[in-house]
Structure 1
Amino acid sequence: MFPERMLEQRSFLRDEEKEVRFLGEEEDEDEESFEDEERDGFDVDGEILAKKRKKKRVTYAESIEDMDFSATFISGVACKPLSWEEEEEIQLKAKAEMAGSLCLTYRRTGLSLKGYFLSQLPDLLPLADFLVYLNLSFNCLCSFPKEVFHLKHLEVLKLRNNPIKFIPEEINQMATLKCLVISFNLLTSLPAGLFALTNLEGLDVSYNELETIPHDIGNLSALTYLNIEGNFITVLPCSVLKLNFLKRLKLENNFLHPYFWNEICQLQPQRLTDLAAHCFAKHKMWKKHRHIPKKIEEILCNFRICDCCPGPLYGDGLQFICAYKNEYGLRLPYLFCSCSPTCYQEYYSRATSQ
């Protein structure tokens, strides 16, 4: 009996070892095949043992293509946030429109949009029938605002501190304009249409880039105030002397010193075409030559009155400088244009003798 029991115990131990080995192999297989999972086992006596498996750390590789949601899920773009400069521009534009609407509501004759930094003006057409005063200084207007041409009764227009480079010829439409301030801009010339405004009393073109003042400024017969400070002007046109109502002339910070006069006083010869046209008109030769070609007729009709005599002046003529003292005793250079050498000699001798 004893040996048989020993054999039974040995066979039982062998079976137990096999079962333990089988359970160990099964645990290794479960750890490799399953992630983050718990399994239950049984011991020899049938008791339940809770065995916790070790958790594996798993990392996921995220490709750029998978993260490109705009190509797969998004069908529209959200509103882009505005910068503080854009928001401020929108607010100022809204305030300018509000000022225009208030002016229309209460029918105010004056509108000031000074310092609004506007690049475009609001609609001014509803104000065309009653607006008299308009201030557009300290803005960002790169060109002369053509909206003002529709203001029928406008008398005062201020455009100081704007990057305006030229004034259009259509400014002659503003027949009621009495005061124009366009200082601290980028003007290099003044148009002929500006000097057709016979009602203009005040003109301020200071601190621009002007090199000359046109001779046609003498057409502004009602002008009482002229400011041309801070430009590159070396000489004044003699037509300024014909402005009888001019009370104040400001011309500091220019190149009007006598040091520059010698460079301008050099007489240039006249063209033969201009001399021939002058002789033809002086001797009234059209009475003898009634059939004149169109080209010659165009040349004969293109003239202005001489600065030294009442005769016709063709081309630039003979240009020379005469200095006259103003009411403050300051000698200023004035540019004259004579129609012929004889006219030049007679006028210059009279001017130097006085």
Structure 2
Amino acid sequence: MVQMEARAQNSFRSKSGVSRASEDQTVDQQWMTAERRTEHTQHEAYTAHEVLLNAVTSKHFQNSRRSRSPFRRAGEQGVISASELAVLDCVTRGGSRLSFKAHFICDLPDVSSLTERLQYLNVSFNHLTHVPQEVCDLHQLRVLKMRNNPIEELPAQISKLHKLQTLVVSFCKITQLPEQLYSLPCLQHLDVSYNLLRSLSSDIRHLRSLRSLNVEGNQLVALPAGLLRVSVSELRMSGNYTHVLLWSENSCNSPQTLLHTAAHTLAHTHTQQRYTHLLPTARVILNSAGVCDACRGPMFGAGLKLIRPAHSVFGLPSVPVMFCCCSPACLHRFRNQTNIISNNQMQSDQTRATLFSCRTAAFTLL
């Protein structure tokens, strides 16, 4: 019996060893076959990638590999950058849209070939400290996005962008908007959020096409009265110093200068028409008069400030508005008014098709 059991165990071991060996051999063969297939696939992919890269470079760089930038002179060395590739891609696609978003560049590459065609430009998330002159020469530009750049000011040449409809300069370091910006006739969307703006000029009333304004995250204490003459349908102004408790502090006035007081008196008595022997300097001062936000008369200098609330305008329940008055008497009369925003104040210098109508609560400042 013992011998029979030993023979049975030996025969079982021999059979299992053969089967295991055959199984191991089969697994090894399958593994080698799969590995060969992977190597073959990788080789084919690498070959296809090389063919595609060579085809692209031969198309744009005249049968030469991607080694030298076509934007540099023959004697200069340098590999083409991602920004230059973006320009080439824009040219091959018609030249209307160009994006340098998150390229981390300090200057723009040569875009002179797109001056008369480019309509969309995005230079957001870069290291631009100023607006390049090339941007102001893009006469067909309609959309300009420059957010998240350390830009401190906008150039006066931005007025050359007569067809600009959207301007985004949020998350920059801009402290003041240039007067030339308010002369853009087609500007519809303006985003200057999260900058260092302390005030906006009443010249914003010249932006007749403006429909959307974003001034969030600045240091504004109130909106200019000139904005009431613009048909803005969307206004975003959270994150500013517009709380009612700050109105009195931010509307303190200093006495007007003697020059501005004298000019105001001469303008109201029509001295310039009655006397023709005024000095040229006096005529220059009289011709530089602004417009009073209260009486719509001539105003010299910055005027006397007064913050009043405007209700149910721009889709918001209440908006603080900064009015500049031409004289202490005008300031006193305007402060005692209940119906602040009248039809005369809502109208522009020319006839408007649409009039705003709203009433504001009486608010007396100390």
Report how far residue 132 of structure 1 moved: 0.5
Matched with 2:238 is 252
Q: 1:135-284, aligned counterparts within 5 Å?
A: 135-244=122-231, 246-284=232-270
**CA distance in 1: counterparts of 2:245 and 2:94, whole angstroms:** 55
Q: Which among 283, 287, 290 is matched to residue 304 of structure 1?
A: 290
**CA distance in 2: counterparts of 1:96 and 1:220, whole angstroms:** 33
Q: CA 1:189 to 1:258, structure 2 compared with 1: closer, same or farther past 3 Å? A: same
**CA distance in 2: counterparts of 1:289 and 1:248, whole angstroms:** 49
Q: Is the 8 A contact 1:303 1:313 kept in 2?
A: yes
**CA distance in 1: counterparts of 2:136 and 2:288, whole angstroms:** 30
* 1:330 and 2:294 correspond: no
Q: Is the 8 A contact 1:181 1:205 kept in 2?
A: yes
Q: Which amino acid aligns with 1:124?
A: V
Cα displacement string for residues 109-140 of structure 1 (whole angstroms, at most 9, x for unaligned residues): 11111111111111111011111001111111
Q: Which among 272, 296, 305 is matched to residue 286 of structure 1?
A: 272
* 1:129 and 2:116 correspond: yes
Structure 2 unaligned residues grouped into runs of 5+: 1-77, 341-358, 360-366
Q: CA 1:329 to 1:105, structure 2 compared with 1: closer, same or farther past 3 Å? A: closer
* 1:99 and 2:86 correspond: yes
SS of corresponding position for 2:81: helix
SS of corresponding position for 1:326: strand
Which is further off, 316-325 or 267-276?
A: 267-276
SS of corresponding position for 1:239: helix
Runs of 4 or more above 6 Å deviation: none
Q: 1:19-58, aligned counterparts within 5 Å?
A: none
Q: Which amino acid aligns with 1:293?
A: L
Cα displacement string for residues 180-209 of structure 1 (whole angstroms, at most 9, x for unaligned residues): 001011111111111111211011011111
Report how far residue 224 of structure 1 moved: 0.3
SS of corresponding position for 1:330: strand
SS of corresponding position for 1:347: helix
Q: Is the 8 A contact 1:318 1:340 kept in 2?
A: yes
**CA distance in 2: counterparts of 1:266 and 1:129, whole angstroms:** 49
Cα displacement string for residues 283-308 of structure 1 (whole angstroms, at most 9, x for unaligned residues): 11224321011221121111111111
Structure 1 unaligned residues grouped into runs of 5+: 1-89
Q: Is the 8 A contact 1:304 1:313 kept in 2?
A: yes
Q: CA 1:140 to 1:275, structure 2 compared with 1: closer, same or farther past 3 Å? A: same
**CA distance in 2: counterparts of 1:190 and 1:106, whole angstroms:** 34
Cα displacement string for residues 206-238 of structure 1 (whole angstroms, at most 9, x for unaligned residues): 111111112211111110010011111112111
Matched with 1:317 is 303
Report how far residue 264 of structure 1 moved: 1.9
Cα displacement string for residues 249-285 of structure 1 (whole angstroms, at most 9, x for unaligned residues): 1111111111111102333322222121111111112
TM-score scaled by structure 1? Answer: 0.71
Q: CA 1:106 to 1:266, structure 2 compared with 1: closer, same or farther past 3 Å? A: closer
Q: Which amino acid aligns with 1:261?
A: W
**Number of equivalent positions:** 263
**CA distance in 2: counterparts of 1:165 and 1:265, whole angstroms:** 26
Q: Is the 8 A contact 1:206 1:230 kept in 2?
A: yes
Percent identity over paired residues: 37
Q: Which amino acid aligns with 2:258?
A: L
